[in-house]
C-alpha cells in the first residue's frame, strides 16, 4: 500500500509555522554519538522517517536508542561493532556518517554503500581520501567501504570540493586522532557548525567551523553530552517559497535567518516583503512573483535542496528565469514532473529555462526525492483543480507533519492510502 497527497490548488497560505531541528544535522549528530561511551541526548529532533532509520543503524552497531518525540537518547557501549550492514544502511544516504566515528572509535569500519534519493552520483572518494591521509587504509569490498587504521594521526587535508559528508567524516575521525588536522576547502554549512559545536561540548578541540578551514586538535577521549539540534533551514526555506508562490503571508520560527540569507534575498527580488527576526522571518507576497535567476552552490550559496522550490516559483513567475544546478546532476528529473503540470521549461545541460505561466494544470506527479516531493506539493497549490502527488514517503523522510502544517496554513491537502 502506498500513500499519496491530494493537493487542491488556488489557496493562499497564511499563518505561523515553526520548524524543528534539521534533518541534515540530526542524523550526523546521532552518528557522532558513537564517539563517546555513555548516553548522549539530542533535543529539538524532527519527527521524520530518517530518524528511526538512523536508530536502526546505531542499534545494529550495539547502541541503545530511545526516541521520545523531539528527544533522542543514544547510549553507546564501551565496545561498538564496526559493521554497519546493508539492510540498515541501504535506505538513506546519511548513514555513511557512521564511517568516521567507527574508524576513530573501533580502528576499523565496514559500512555498506548507502542508498537514498535519486538526485545524482555522490561517490565516497573524498571520504576515503581524507581518512587515508589520517592514516587509514580504505577500499570497496562486496558493496561496502572498508576502512582500517592502527592509529589515526593528524594531517593537512584539502578537499577538491566542499563536500558536506566528507567534511563530517574527516572531522569526526580527526577528533580522536593524534595531533592536529587542518581541513581546507571544508564545507561551511550551518549543519557542519552544529556538528562541531556538539563535538566541542563532548570535549573535542575544533575551531574554524563555518569557514573554509577547520582545525581539529585530536583528544584521547570524548564524553557524552546534551545538545539542541539547529533549526532546519531547508524546511524553513520551503515555507518561505510556499508563501511567495501562493501570494500568501507566512511567519516562520525556529530558524536563524542568516542561514537562508541568499534564498530570502531572491524572494525580495521576486517582489516579496521579507521581515527577519532573531529566530525567524515573515514572507508576504501580494502580487505575482517576478522572474529571478538561480544558481545552486555550496553554502553560503543558494542550496541545491531548495532548487525544486526555485523551479516552482519560476514556473508561475512573470518573465523568464534560468536555474543552474551545480551540485547534483540528476536534480533536473524534477523538471519532467513540472512539465506534466504545464510548466514551460526546457533543460540544456545543467541549466533549465522557465517561462512563467499564469497557472499550472493539475495532474498526477511522482516524487523522486524528498525536496522534489515537497516542490511538487507547492506546485500543486498553484495549479487548477486537484494534483495527486505519489511516492510521498520521500517527503515524510524530511518534513515533519507536512500535511498538518499545510492545513494549518489554509491549504486543502489530504493524505490518501491506496495501491
Nearest Cα to 100, choosing from 71, 124, 66, 74? 124
Report pLDDT for 119: 38
Do 164 and 271 lie in a common domain? no
Nearest Cα to 284, choosing from 275, 276, 293? 275
Characterize 70-101 residue by residue with b for buried, 16 or more Cβ atoms within 10 angstroms of its Cβ, and e for exposed: bebbbbbeeebebbbbeebbebbbbbbbbbbb
Using CA atoms, how far residue 144 sits from 110, 116, 224, in Å, is 6, 15, 28
Q: List the catalytic residues.
A: 117
- DSSP designation for 256: -
Of 45-49, 139-143, 187-191, give the lowest mean pLDDT range. 139-143
Name the average pLDDT for the chain: 94
Report pLDDT for 117: 41
Report pLDDT for 329: 67
Q: Is residue 238 part of a domain?
A: yes
Nearest Cα to 173, choosing from 236, 230, 129? 129
Q: How far is residue 130's CA from residue 183's CA, in Å, rounded to a whole number?
A: 9
Q: How far is residue 88's CA from residue 91's CA, in Å, rounded to a whole number?
A: 7
* 405 marked as binding residue: no
- Put the strands of the sheet holding 351-355 in their side by side order: 294-295, 320-324, 351-355, 344-348
Do 33 and 126 lie in a common domain? yes
Q: Which domain holds residue 262?
A: 3-19+231-417
Query: Virtual CA dihedral for 99, 101, 103, 109, nearest 10 degrees?
Result: -40
Q: Is residue 225 part of a domain?
A: no
* 327 marked as binding residue: yes
Q: Is residue 396 part of a domain?
A: yes
Report pLDDT for 171: 98
* 23 marked as binding residue: yes
In the beta sheet, which residues pair with residue 216? 181, 206
Q: Is residue 332 part of a domain?
A: yes
Better pLDDT: 73 or 120:
73
Nearest Cα to 197, choosing from 19, 42, 301? 42
Mean pLDDT on 1-10: 93
C-alpha cell at 52: 528511526
Q: Tens digits of per-residue pLDDT, 212-232?
A: 999 999 999 999 999 999 999
Do 205 and 152 lie in a common domain? yes
Share of the chain above pLDDT 90, in %: 87
Query: Virtual CA dihedral for 206, 210, 211, 215, nearest 10 degrees?
Result: 10
pLDDT interval class at 418 (50, 70, 90):
confident
Of 120-129, 249-258, 406-415, give the lowest mean pLDDT range. 120-129
Of 23-32, 137-146, 288-297, give the lowest mean pLDDT range. 137-146
38 phi, psi to nearest 5 deg: 115, -170
* 93 marked as binding residue: yes
Q: How far is residue 197's CA from residue 32's CA, in Å, rounded to a whole number?
A: 12
Of 117-126, 258-267, 302-311, 403-412, give the lowest mean pLDDT range. 117-126
Do 382 and 250 lie in a common domain? yes
Do 78 and 135 lie in a common domain? yes
Q: Number of structural domains, the chain?
A: 2
pLDDT interval class at 2 (50, 70, 90):
confident
Q: Tens digits of per-residue pLDDT, 82-91?
A: 998 777 777 6
Do 113 and 41 lie in a common domain? yes
Specify the residue for cell string 537514498. 116
Report pLDDT for 212: 98
**Which CATH number does the domain housing residue 300 bear?**
3.65.10.10
Do 171 and 239 lie in a common domain? no
Q: Tens digits of per-residue pLDDT, 99-132?
A: 999 999 999 999 988 654 443 445 688 999 999 9
Q: Which residues contact 145 (CB under 8 A, 6 or more apart)?
A: 96, 99, 109, 110, 111, 113, 124, 127, 128, 138, 139
Backbone angle region of 53, left / alpha / beta, with phi > 0 → left and psi within -120 to 50 → alpha: alpha
* 217 marked as binding residue: no
Q: Is residue 224 part of a domain?
A: no
401 phi, psi to nearest 5 deg: 50, 45
Q: Tens digits of per-residue pLDDT, 335-356?
A: 999 999 999 999 998 899 999 9
Q: How far is residue 153's CA from residue 179's CA, in Å, rounded to a whole number?
A: 6
Share of the chain above pLDDT 70, in %: 96
Q: Are strands 226-228 and 213-217 parallel, antiparallel or unpaired?
A: unpaired
Do 260 and 209 lie in a common domain? no
- DSSP designation for 126: H
Q: How far is residue 332's CA from residue 328's CA, in Å, rounded to a whole number?
A: 9
Report pLDDT for 103: 97
Report pLDDT for 86: 74
Q: How far is residue 396's CA from residue 406's CA, in Å, rounded to a whole number?
A: 14
Backbone angle region of 207, left / alpha / beta, with phi > 0 → left and psi within -120 to 50 → alpha: beta
Q: Tens digits of per-residue pLDDT, 352-381?
A: 999 999 999 999 999 999 999 999 999 999
Do 387 and 401 lie in a common domain? yes
Amino acid at each position: 500500500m502506498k500513500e499519496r497527497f491530494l493537493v487542491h490548488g488556488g489557496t493562499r497560505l497564511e499563518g505561523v509555522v515553526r520548524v524543528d531541528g534539521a534533518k541534515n544535522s540530526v542524523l550526523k549528530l546521532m552518528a557522532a554519538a558513537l564517539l563517546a561511551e555513555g548516553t548522549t541526548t539530542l533535543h529539538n529532533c524532527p519527527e521524520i522517517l530518517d530518524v528511526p532509520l538512523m536508530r536502526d543503524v546505531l542499534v545494529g552497531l550495539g547502541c541503545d536508542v530511545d526516541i521520545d518525540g523531539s528527544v533522542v537518547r543514544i547510549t553507546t557501549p564501551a565496545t561498538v561493532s564496526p559493521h554497519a550492514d546493508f539492510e540498515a544502511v541501504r535506505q538513506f544516504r546519511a548513514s555513511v556518517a557512521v564511517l568516521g566515528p567507527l574508524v576513530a572509535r573501533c580502528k576499523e569500519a565496514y559500512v555498506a554503500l548507502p542508498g537514498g534519493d535519486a538526485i545524482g552520483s555522490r561517490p565516497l572518494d573524498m571520504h576515503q581520501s581524507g581518512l587515508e591521509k589520517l592514516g587509514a587504509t580504505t577500499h570497496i569490498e562486496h558493496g561496502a567501504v572498508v576502512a582500517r587504521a592502527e592509529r589515526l594521526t593528524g594531517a593537512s587535508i584539502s578537499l577538491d570540493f566542499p563536500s558536506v559528508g566528507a567534511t563530517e567524516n574527516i572531522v569526526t575521525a580527526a577528533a580522536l586522532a593524534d595531533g592536529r588536522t587542518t581541513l581546507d576547502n571544508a564545507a561551511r554549512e550551518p549543519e557542519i557548525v552544529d556538528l562541531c559545536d556538539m563535538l566541542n561540548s563532548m570535549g573535542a578541540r575544533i575551531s574554524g567551523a563555518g569557514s573554509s578551514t577547520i582545525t581539529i586538535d585530536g583528544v584521547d577521549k570524548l564524553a557524552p553530552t546534551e545538545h539542541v539540534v539547529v533549526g532546519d533551514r531547508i524546511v524553513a526555506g520551503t515555507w518561505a517559497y510556499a508563501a511567495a508562490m501562493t501570494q500568501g503571508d507566512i511567519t516562520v520560527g525556529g530558524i536563524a535567518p542568516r542561514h537562508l540569507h541568499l534564498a530570502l534575498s531572491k524572494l525580495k527580488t521576486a517582489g516579496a516583503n521579507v521581515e527577519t527576526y532573531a529566530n525567524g522571518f515573515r514572507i508576504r507576497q501580494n502580487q505575482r512573483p517576478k522572474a529571478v535567476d538561480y544558481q545552486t552552490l555550496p553554502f553560503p550559496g543558494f542550496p541545491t535542496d531548495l532548487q525544486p522550490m526555485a523551479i516552482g516559483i519560476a514556473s508561475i513567475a512573470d518573465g523568464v528565469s534560468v536555474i543552474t544546478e551545480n551540485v547534483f546532476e540528476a536534480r533536473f528529473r524534477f523538471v519532467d514532473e513540472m512539465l506534466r503540470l504545464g510548466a514551460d521549461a526546457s533543460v540544456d545541460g545543467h541549466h533549465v529555462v522557465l517561462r512563467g505561466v499564469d497557472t499550472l494544470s493539475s495532474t498526477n506527479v511522482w516524487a523522486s526525492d524528498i525536496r522534489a516531493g515537497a516542490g511538487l506539493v507547492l506546485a500543486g497549490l498553484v495549479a487548477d483543480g486537484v494534483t495527486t502527488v505519489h511516492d510521498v514517503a520521500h517527503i515524510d523522510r524530511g518534513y515533519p507533519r507536512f500535511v498538518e502544517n499545510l492545513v494549518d496554513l489554509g491549504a486543502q491537502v489530504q493524505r490518501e492510502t491506496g495501491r
